[in-house]
Amino acid sequence: MKYIFVIVFVILFPFLLNAWHGYFKPAQHSEIHRVDCSYIHDKLRHHIDDIIKVLESRGTKLESTYNSNSSEGYKIVRDELKKYLPEVYTIIEEYVSPLRYNDSRPMNCDKDKYCWFLRLYNKDGHFLDWHFDNNFTSGLRHTFVCNVFVSKCNTSHFMTKDKSNRMHIVPSVSGSAVIYNGTDVKHGISSQTGDCVRIALIVPMYENEHMTFLGRWRKWARGITYHHLKL
């Protein structure tokens, strides 16, 4: 019995770590940096209808019923977008590749399918619950979130919590972006209204792409969780 307990604990350990670092640890601070991303907004403005159609038909549908009430909306990763909207893929890829923030840069896409991806919030109640971003590397992670397109009636806004658990709201505007340390900044996305639209480009950026043994173990667990819960 003792050995069975040890085996079960070893299997569950990376999942428990991911849950703690992803959701349950206390908020560290709410510091974010606002930056301009109007270039990519302008380049994609004529492709918005196609992006929405592909996200709805080919992206991952996120349903709170199946992911412990964590998120609602649509999500599509880089490689899937490349299959169905190659022109949009090329525009985003050329924009993302040279992105830099301090010593952080996007992950090599051969190493991580989530090197960049799009999220769509366009139905009543679409949201993203409070969480921290995964970091499996030995350096800092920053996350770049650009509002590619936001309709006037949008209520899907970026939110953070500080150490005192006070909420701060960053209004979403087309062509505006935030950069933050996703490991320390607890954040979420407020609920969408009606048929309003918000499309966000998310780019994780790392100081160091090297993953520790524990990081690789946690990434393995994340892959299983994402597959079954569609996060």
pLDDT, tens digit (0-9, with 9 covering 90-100), for 182-199: 999 999 999 999 999 999
Residue 109 CA to residue 106 CA, distance in Å, equals 8
Tell me the average pLDDT across 118-132: 97
Higher pLDDT, 60 or 30: 60
Residue 73 CA to residue 123 CA, distance in Å, equals 7
Residue 38 CA to residue 174 CA, distance in Å, equals 7
CB-based contact 124:193 (threshold 8 Å)? yes
Which of 2-11, 24-33, 63-72, 196-205 has the least mean pLDDT? 2-11
Residue with tokens 């050995």: 3
* 121: containing domain: 2-229
CB-based contact 55:120 (threshold 8 Å)? yes
For the chain, what is the domain count?
1
CATH number of the domain bearing residue 141 = 2.60.120.620
User: What average pLDDT is seen over the chain?
Assistant: 94
pLDDT, tens digit (0-9, with 9 covering 90-100), for 15-59: 999 999 999 999 988 899 999 999 999 999 999 999 999 999 999
Tell me the average pLDDT across 75-96: 98
Rg (CA), the chain: 18
Q: Which of 105, 98, 97 is nearest to 208 (CA)?
A: 105
Looking at 37-193, which runs of residues are DSSP E strands? 60-62, 71-77, 105-106, 117-121, 127-131, 141-150, 158-161, 167-170, 176-180, 186-189
Q: What is the pLDDT of residue 117?
A: 98
Count Cα atoms within 13 angstroms, Cβ side, for 63. Answer: 5
